[in-house]
Amino acid sequence: MGQEMQGFTGFTRSVRTRRLLAPLLATLLAIAGCSAAAKKAAYEPEDRDTWQKPAEVISLLDITPGSTLVDLGSGGGYFTGRLGRATGPAGKVFAVDVDPTMNALLGTRLAEEDIRNVTIVTADPNHAGLAPNSIDLVFVSNTYHHLPDPVRYFARLLAALRPGGRVAILEYHPDANTFVRLFRHGTAAVRIRDEMSAAGYMLLREKSLERQDLLIFRPARAASRAGPDAG
């Protein structure tokens, strides 16, 4: 009888484990398929608007109409169109990503949304390729953890910023959910602060959201504008 109960308990735990892991496995399978549509579905679940609070994020960015913005790690464009609308027809957005399939998907999405002030850029993983003194705001959403050397990356980015330019980093809390914990798709705010300080920035504002932190920085001192490639 004891062995039967142990077997039943083990079976019950197995069922519960499979139920808990099912959404995670579905996400992994979608991403592993490498199709742009699958990646978009994985990164933009139906409830994303609920916890992402995109309107609040855009408001916190305090975008001046007519600004030149960068959506760094734009992916499927969840924020790209919103940034385009925030800066308006007189402004410009560079959607920068290393994945050509996602960039193609983004192009389709922008056409469907009739967003005309976005330029899509397929970037090198180690630099964004931005012209010196050309950008008012660099927005980095759920991408910081992918950078192999954030200090070097953002130090190079300094020269791309215009006077008053800023960098806004929206990043998952390290314990935001099972997927983030398991695959380390988050970064602690204290680490971001330390690395951005080492790269030559100072913190302007920090806001803790439901699953993420939003940190906004500016250069700690005037950046050199020299050189053919700031990114």
CB 125 within 8 A of CB 152: no
Tell me how many domains the chain contains: 2
209: CATH: 3.40.50.150
* 153-200 pLDDT tens trace: 999 999 999 999 999 999 986 564 555 445 455 678 899 999 999 999
Considering the domain architecture, whether residues 11 and 119 belong to the same structural domain is answered as no
Which H or E element spans position 156? helix 150-157
Query: Is the overall model pTM greater than 0.85, yes or no?
Result: no
3 pLDDT above the threshold of 70: no
CB 107 within 8 A of CB 77: no
CA-to-CA dists, residue 61 to 24, 151, 206, angstroms: 31, 22, 11
Distance of CA 84 to the CA centre of its chain: 16
107 pLDDT above the threshold of 50: yes
Range of the domain at 24: 2-32
Q: pLDDT band for 4, please (50, 70, 90 cuts).
A: very low
Considering the domain architecture, whether residues 122 and 184 belong to the same structural domain is answered as yes
Q: For position 38, what pLDDT does the model report?
A: 53
Q: For position 28, what pLDDT does the model report?
A: 44
Considering the domain architecture, whether residues 78 and 144 belong to the same structural domain is answered as yes
Considering the domain architecture, whether residues 127 and 170 belong to the same structural domain is answered as yes
Considering the domain architecture, whether residues 208 and 109 belong to the same structural domain is answered as yes
Q: For position 45, what pLDDT does the model report?
A: 58
Residues 6+ apart with CB under 8 A from 55: none
